[in-house]
């Protein structure tokens, strides 16, 4: 994969991954609020626990997407900086 193609792939992956991480963090904290701080509220702790666990799992997998895409971007920029040996 050349540097230009790698950048075209990395930038959308960083953006989409960051949005997924944000949504996952919000779902995790929503579930955590209802599990730990308000367990007997309108949403019980039993109903909110899957949201907390799912938000955490999706957040970790989305974070992997962001890390891999940042790695692709850094690698493509290093490839641009090094002069080609011909």
Which pLDDT score, from 0 to 100, does residue 15 have?
Answer: 94
Task: Tokens for 17, please give them.
Answer: 């991954």
First to last CA, the chain: 19
Q: Where are the domains of the chain?
A: 3-81
CB 35 within 8 A of CB 44: no
pLDDT (tens digit per residue) in 22-80: 999 999 999 999 999 999 989 999 999 999 999 999 999 999 999 999 998 998 888 87
CA distances from 50 to 8, 15, 43, 58, 70 (A): 36, 26, 12, 12, 30
């Amino acid at each position: 994969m050349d540097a230009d193609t790698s950048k075209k792939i990395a930038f959308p992956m960083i953006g989409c991954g960051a949005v997924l991480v944000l949504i996952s963090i919000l779902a995790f904290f929503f579930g955590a609020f209802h599990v730990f701080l308000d367990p007997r509220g309108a949403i019980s702790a039993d109903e909110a626990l899957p949201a907390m666990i799912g938000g955490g799992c999706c957040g970790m997998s989305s974070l992997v997407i962001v890390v891999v895409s940042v790695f692709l971007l850094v690698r493509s920029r290093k490839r641009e900086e090094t002069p080609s040996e011909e």
